[in-house]
Amino acid sequence: MRHLHTDLEQVLVSQEAIQGRVSELALQISSDYQEAERLLVIGVLKGAFIFAADLTRQLSIPHVVDFMALTSYGRSTSSGEVRIVMDLREPIENEHVLLVEDIVDSGQTMRYLDRLLKDRNPASVRTCVMVKKHGDRLKLPIDYVGFDIADVWVVGYGLDYADRHRTLPYIAELKPEVYRKLV
Ligand code: IMP
Ligand code: MG
């Protein structure tokens, strides 16, 4: 790729590949929820804002969108300690919920959210992530996965390190020395 930022090692998933996969996922999800009255898509901020926007605009079934914001301690890493900084606006009782996240690393965040939402008595909860790392320790079953990637730090398409590079249209691997400086 031309003019790759000096923080970046290489592009792992191109913009074209992302757009193609998002369309496939939207088609699959629309078909799976054909019988549902409506789908409640919950995007997890900040990381999922771009993916959730692209995905929902291609759904052909009735749906509504809401967001939760989480923060984890530590600037750039996936530390495991999660805190809700913005909760949903409405109860989710009897709703079919699709939880949309940017990435699964250890799986701790997804597991935390899955339990939290299931405690609120929705009709169902499924999970959708753009990228899943091979090293996910908890081996969580994720219903819809965009791409499986190696265990490296990635940025772009919503993903950041220390809030940087979130709005790149592709997913790129961060140079290990940049990552190490921040941990
Ligand atoms: P977990 O380890 O699966 O709980 O991942 C926790 C969170 O760490 C994710 O939701 C992301 O916000 C962040 N994260 C993990 N790996 C990456 C990465 O490679 N790039 C950017 N954020 C990441
Ligand atoms: Mg995140």
Q: How many whole angstroms from 24 Cα to the centroid of ligand 1?
A: 23
Range from 49-63, 68-82, 158-172 carrying the lowest mean pLDDT:
68-82
Does any ligand 1 atom lie closer than 6 A to the CB of residue 58?
no
For ligand 1, what atom is nearest to the CA of residue 159? 21
Does any ligand 1 atom lie closer than 6 A to the CB of residue 154?
yes
Closest CA to 95 of 112, 69, 117: 117
Beta-carbon neighbours within 5 Å of ion ligand 2: 47
Average pLDDT value for the chain = 92
**Residues belonging to the active site:** 105
Q: Are 149 and 162 in contact (CB under 8 A)?
A: no
Range from 51-60, 124-133, 137-146, 150-159 carrying the lowest mean pLDDT:
137-146
In the chain the first and final C-alpha atoms are separated, in Å, by 27
Does any ligand 1 atom lie closer than 6 A to the CB of residue 70?
no
Q: Are 56 and 65 in contact (CB under 8 A)?
A: yes
Q: What is the pTM of this model?
A: 0.93
Q: Are 103 and 159 in contact (CB under 8 A)?
A: yes
pLDDT digits (tens, 9 = 90+) for 81-137: 788 999 999 999 999 999 999 999 989 899 999 999 999 999 999 999 999 998 777
